[in-house]
Structure 1
Amino acid sequence: MTESATTADPTARHYDREFVRTFFTSPTAVEGEDDSAKMLRSAAQLRGMRAPDVWVPDNEDATAPSMRAEGVRNIVDVVREHGAAVPGEIHPRVVWHRDDPQTRYRGFQQILEITDPENGAVEHIDGFVIPEVGGVDDWKKADEFLTIAEREHGLDPESLSMSVIVESGEAELAMGDLREEMGKPANNLQRLFLLVDGEVDYTKDMRAMTPTGELPPWPELRHNTSRGASAAGLVAVDGPYDDIRDVEGYRERMRENRAKGMTGIWSLTPTQVEVANTAPLPPESGRWLLEVDGREIELDAEEGRHVYRGDGLGLEETGTGQYVLRAGGDEQTLDADELREELLDRAAYVPSMDDIVDSMEAFEDAKDAGKGAIAMTREATLEIDGVAVEHSTDRMWDEATYQAAKTPITLFQDVYEHRPDQHDDLEQRYGADVVERATNVG
């Protein structure tokens, strides 16, 4: 459950989780089935890496309008039966629309029924997801309905969090108003939790078109949502990736998002949940990359060397202390120092969890000894066309570097704290010793 606000600071977090990796929606009622709630029951019993951080019984787009009344009853029944064992948070999605008072009223009625203590589900409900919001005044209407439901049913104030789906230009602009609006006595917007992109309806609202009919990538929306979440102390989540078979495309989307500060992503299947749960975690082993033709190629680790096997880069030793480097049709003759400089520009290292923890522990020890900054050296033998080159990099660590490196460890610690059902998976991935050190560092 969310915690009651104790400060008017608009950037203060009022909930337990700092990171959400997965936002998994399930239809609340499936027409034509003996058990219309079968997909809800299946989702409620997911565990480990296949279970999401946030489970969203979806009584809006994922459920046919004719089935939504039954969908509310199914939410109550399934959450009452399975909610206590669900490892993540539960946030039903109700109907709402910024331009339709009748739809907003139906959403309010759904909230009232789901949160009625006599139905036995509300003790396992963490909040609600509100779609199709508009300007910030519309967000306040949804907040007011949640406040009324809490008072009507005798629930703790602000015990229900509110997440919104950004599906319009109005909602995108409203994110810029949150810092000023949150914490005012006239609203309880501090109950906000997730800002979730909904690129499909956003595309419709923007009247955008592409030659193929596919969705535009909308990098600006993802950046603005991440920025809005950071400014207001919330969590940003990307929208659905519809091509559920394109696992590598899904991973690439997440890599792009993490560079924007957006860790979470919508998941449509348990397989996507598993991919999205593991992708943001630090790697279990480090790896070297080499920039070739504008792309970063992972090198093969073999007997203490890191080997490039592609055709885009060639290296030959002349026997006179010089080297011939071929790249993209160009050829350079370099001495040993010049070659090391060239590879310094091309080579990069992706640190493992163990590497990150080692570096953080070394800096903490140095800081305890009174040092404000230390140099970290990383050495490797790179091999191109059978020619081995000794590669060495130095990185200066100070407090700012330490805090930046801490983010993936903070993510891991957040996962370890809130998802005990994943402890075995994490120990299998990293080893018990690394897990113990990672939970204690920082």
Structure 2
Amino acid sequence: MGDLRADGGQAAYRPRRSVLYMPASNERALEKAKTLPVDALILDLEDAVAPDAKEQARENACAAARSGEYGSREVTIRINGTGTQWHDEDLAAACAAGPDAVVVPKVGSAQEVRDLVAAMEAAGAPDRTSLWAMVETPAAMLHCEEIAAASERLTVLVMGTNDLAKELQAEHVPGRQPLLTGLGLCLLAARATGTAILDGVYNDVRDAEGFAAECLQARQLGFDGKTLVHPGQVEPCNEVFAPSAAAVEEARGILQAWEDGAGAGVVTYGGKMVESLHVDTARRVLTVHAAVTGTAPRG
């Protein structure tokens, strides 16, 4: 079961539980990434790279994207934002390299998405290279549905929660109450348009308990996964965003009860009434489980 696109079609499900930023200027980090149990990588040319290292980082990221040495991991390149001195060359080089996606920071409008897609096509980006838009300003929150619906080439929204907090003049607090309105607006936009959506980063890499709590919150809110800043965050994040053994067992039980009760009118499982919406949810749980474990779906 894929994510529903705005045109009513189905996009194949691809796990993005853990999405790790890696500074493309750090060749050792790029090599290490080949061994990490991460679903996707963002090879970063922006915040994590000093101005005098931008060109080398660009070359490293493009070489990595071309290498085919990252297995099933989704490999993306985050370029410098529209209007910066590096943007045009970053975009042209990334499109020529043909990664799974080009990630663009601070996307604030549907017109910017259309302009980026036109620039990608002009630069010869292969059809397989999608656009991931980072949404990280109040304007982006308020126009997120328009942004998500602007092009079928845009497949993922990435929350930029650090920048959003800065723009809101909000504090970073447990539970993220100041950010919940923006997170909710973007989640609504993602689900309305069939676009995947990733939560923002957790800054304190030493705070395992706080990180786990924020992963759980993100999963409960409905995010597909979370962006990460340290390799040590990968496995805990994968665990939270994968269906638990109990959830898988329940999903299989719901589907079996639904099949057994076909034509019976009322179907129950575990003392609870089962409707088609529960069946859809159960199927999605099993699809995610199959994708992250490499097994064929059952039920």
Give the TM-score normalised by the residue count of structure 1: 0.61
1:129 to 79, 103, 119: 103
The percentage of counterpart residues that share the same residue type is: 22
1:67 to 34, 45, 53: 53
Secondary structure of the corresponding residue to residue 279 of structure 1: helix
Higher alpha-carbon deviation: 170-179 or 192-201 = 170-179
Q: How does 1:154-233 map to 2 (within 5 A)?
A: 156=126, 158-178=127-147, 182=150, 189-206=151-168, 208-210=169-171, 217-233=178-194
Question: How far, CA to CA, are the matches of 2:6 and 2:281 in structure 1?
Answer: 23
Question: How far, CA to CA, are the matches of 1:159 and 1:64 in structure 2?
Answer: 29
Secondary structure of the corresponding residue to residue 113 of structure 1: helix
Q: Report what 2:12 is aligned to.
A: 16
Secondary structure of the corresponding residue to residue 92 of structure 1: strand
Q: Deviations over 1:270-326 (max 9, x none)?
A: 221111112122223xxxxxxxxxxxxxxxxxxxxxxxxxxxxxxxxxxxxxxxxxx
Instruction: Please say if residues 356 and 405 of structure 1, whose CA atoms lie closer than 8 Å, have aligned partners that are also in contact.
Output: yes
Rg comparison, structure with higher value: 1
Q: Deviations over 1:46-84 (max 9, x none)?
A: 2xxx42222110000111121111101111233334x34
1:400 to 277, 293, 296: 277
Please say if 1:376 is aligned against 2:269. yes
In terms of fraction of residues, the more strand-rich structure is: 1
Instruction: Please say if residues 96 and 107 of structure 1, whose CA atoms lie closer than 8 Å, have aligned partners that are also in contact.
Output: yes
Question: How far, CA to CA, are the matches of 1:71 and 1:268 in structure 2?
Answer: 17
Please say if 1:95 is aligned against 2:80. yes
Question: How far, CA to CA, are the matches of 1:357 and 1:126 in structure 2?
Answer: 33
Please say if 1:366 is aligned against 2:224. no
Pair 129,11 (structure 1): closer, same or farther in 2 beyond 3 Å: farther
Secondary structure of the corresponding residue to residue 87 of structure 1: coil
| Residue identity opposite 1:93 in structure 2 | R
2:71 to 86, 111, 125: 86
Please say if 1:115 is aligned against 2:95. yes
Pair 204,396 (structure 1): closer, same or farther in 2 beyond 3 Å: same
Question: How far, CA to CA, are the matches of 1:408 and 1:135 in structure 2?
Answer: 33
Give the TM-score normalised by the residue count of structure 2: 0.88
Pair 352,204 (structure 1): closer, same or farther in 2 beyond 3 Å: closer
Instruction: Please say if residues 237 and 266 of structure 1, whose CA atoms lie closer than 8 Å, have aligned partners that are also in contact.
Output: yes
| Residue identity opposite 2:52 in structure 1 | S
Question: How far, CA to CA, are the matches of 2:172 and 2:107 in structure 1?
Answer: 28
Instruction: Please say if residues 244 and 272 of structure 1, whose CA atoms lie closer than 8 Å, have aligned partners that are also in contact.
Output: yes
Residue 217 of structure 1 deviates from its aligned partner by 4.9
Pair 413,79 (structure 1): closer, same or farther in 2 beyond 3 Å: same
Q: Deviations over 1:124-177 (max 9, x none)?
A: x11100001222222222222111112xxxx54x43200011111122122122
Question: How far, CA to CA, are the matches of 1:375 and 1:395 in structure 2?
Answer: 5
Pair 401,170 (structure 1): closer, same or farther in 2 beyond 3 Å: same
Pair 10,248 (structure 1): closer, same or farther in 2 beyond 3 Å: farther
Across the aligned residues of Structure 1 and Structure 2, the Cα RMSD in angstroms comes to: 2.6
Instruction: Please say if residues 59 and 68 of structure 1, whose CA atoms lie closer than 8 Å, have aligned partners that are also in contact.
Output: yes
Higher relative contact order (CA 8 A, sep 6+): 2
Residue 201 of structure 1 deviates from its aligned partner by 1.1
Q: Report what 2:229 is aligned to.
A: 268
| Residue identity opposite 1:204 in structure 2 | K
Question: How far, CA to CA, are the matches of 2:229 and 2:81 in structure 1?
Answer: 21
Q: How does 1:145-156 map to 2 (within 5 A)?
A: 145-150=119-124, 156=126
In the alignment of these two chains, the number of paired residues is 294
Question: How far, CA to CA, are the matches of 1:211 and 1:268 in structure 2?
Answer: 17
Instruction: Please say if residues 95 and 129 of structure 2, whose CA atoms lie closer than 8 Å, have aligned partners that are also in contact.
Output: no
Question: How far, CA to CA, are the matches of 1:372 and 1:234 in structure 2?
Answer: 34
Instruction: Please say if residues 138 and 182 of structure 2, whose CA atoms lie closer than 8 Å, have aligned partners that are also in contact.
Output: no
Q: Report what 1:52 is aligned to.
A: 38
Instruction: Please say if residues 178 and 232 of structure 1, whose CA atoms lie closer than 8 Å, have aligned partners that are also in contact.
Output: no
